[in-house]
Copies of this chain bind each other. A is one copy, B any other.
């Protein structure tokens, strides 16, 4: 019943054998961070995500969404219409993960271009 998490009683991301390593690897990923952010505003179709996540390929988007779905962060809903429609949305868990991810994206947008290491770039 309970998983065999003997190696990781208290969920330490610094322990290689801890399942949270996988979760960290999933979330600490460019596309995951962007995809989750894109779904904060509500369900998104595949094509919409593909446009929002500028530069992602359909294969990678599909794989990313599958991983997020497998981790319970994203819900996938298929509408048997024509043309086929699929909507991806955040689960409650995914929604809670969106906060730290948003903080990370925010930091990046805020601090990129700083890098005042002496070799000043033409900002």
Contact = CB atoms under 8 A, between A and B. Distances in A.
Interface residues of A, number: 55
A30 B11 CA distance: 15
A41 interface: no
A93 interface: yes
A80 B96 CA distance: 47
Interface in A62-110: 71-72, 91, 93, 96-97, 99-101, 103-110
Given A93-B115, A100-B107, A106-B100, A24 B30 contact: yes
Contact of A96 (B27, B99, B111): B111
Contacts of A13: 34, 105, 108-109
Contact of A28 (B5, B12, B33, B54): B33
Interface of A: 3, 5, 10-16, 18-21, 23-25, 27-30, 32-34, 37-38, 52-55, 71-72, 91, 93, 96-97, 99-101, 103-117, 120, 122
12 contacts: A3-B122, A11-B109, A13-B34, A20-B109, A20-B113, A24-B108, A27-B104, A27-B107, A28-B28, A91-B117, A96-B111, A99-B103
